[in-house]
Amino acid sequence: MGTDPARPENQIAWHIARRRRMVRDLVLTAVGVGGLVLLGLWTGWNVEPVIGALVVAISIGLVHNYRLYRAEKRVAERLTDGVTVAWKPLSVVVDGRVLPVGYSAMYMLVTGDRYEVLVNGRRYETGTSQVVADGEVRQTEVLPDTGRRSGQSLAQISRVDGDVLTACAAGPDAPRPTAFSSTPGSGHTLSVWLRMR
């Protein structure tokens, strides 16, 4: 019986296994391409330009997936304390513009009121989130202490539905958002996160 990837406590293990399979598949493909090159050389076919392009594409994919695998493994190693919660972004919209989040190992690790955002295993931002008003929609002040927004205050609203966190933050020192939306010119960042553990 396999591991159910839908269960939050299995999400990081599932992502690591998926990355491992991707790396394995890319290695097998590279071996197959190498076999084609040898066959082409043996038979005199002029396949080198096509094979060369395939080798470059596979190499780039292999390196990228291996880096993501290592980053996700480092996050999993940090979650052994039983207190830290990991969130993986499902979508991020900044000032009405959708950002791609599926091609990186991005996580937000939360311990108490402290958070740390990691992108591909590197620290992107750390800080605190202080509750201003609690309820179905929580109001917080996010205070980054590292990263490009260090020292700024971001008014935010958030809600948690099961294992999904939705947050909408205003720009630095701007009024708190009143709705979960990010339209062009609003300066709002709307993000949806899945609890991984």
Q: What is the pLDDT of residues 12-39, one digit of tens each?
A: 565 666 667 777 777 777 777 777 677 7
Residue range 59-86: average pLDDT?
A: 70
Averaged pLDDT score across all residues of the chain: 79
C-alpha to C-alpha distance for 104 and 11, rounded to whole angstroms: 15
pLDDT of residue 49: 65
pTM: 0.66
C-alpha to C-alpha distance for 61 and 56, rounded to whole angstroms: 9
pLDDT of residue 126: 93
Q: Could you read off the pLDDT of 124-148 as tens digits, one per residue?
A: 899 999 999 888 899 999 999 998 8
Higher pLDDT, 95 or 9: 95
Where are the domains positioned within the chain? 8-79, 83-195
Please, which residues have CB within 8 angstroms of residue 162's CB and are 6 or more apart in sequence?
none
Strand segments, DSSP code E, in the chain are: 85-94, 97-99, 106-111, 114-119, 122-133, 138-144, 154-161, 164-169, 189-195
5 has a pLDDT exceeding 60: no
Higher pLDDT, 103 or 43: 43
166 has a pLDDT exceeding 90: yes
CA dist 140 → 49, 59, 124, 147, 188 (Å): 56, 44, 20, 19, 14
* Percent of the chain at pLDDT exceeding 90: 30
Question: Taking the domain 83-195, which CATH number applies?
Answer: 2.40.128
pLDDT of residue 183: 93
Residue range 55-82: average pLDDT?
A: 70
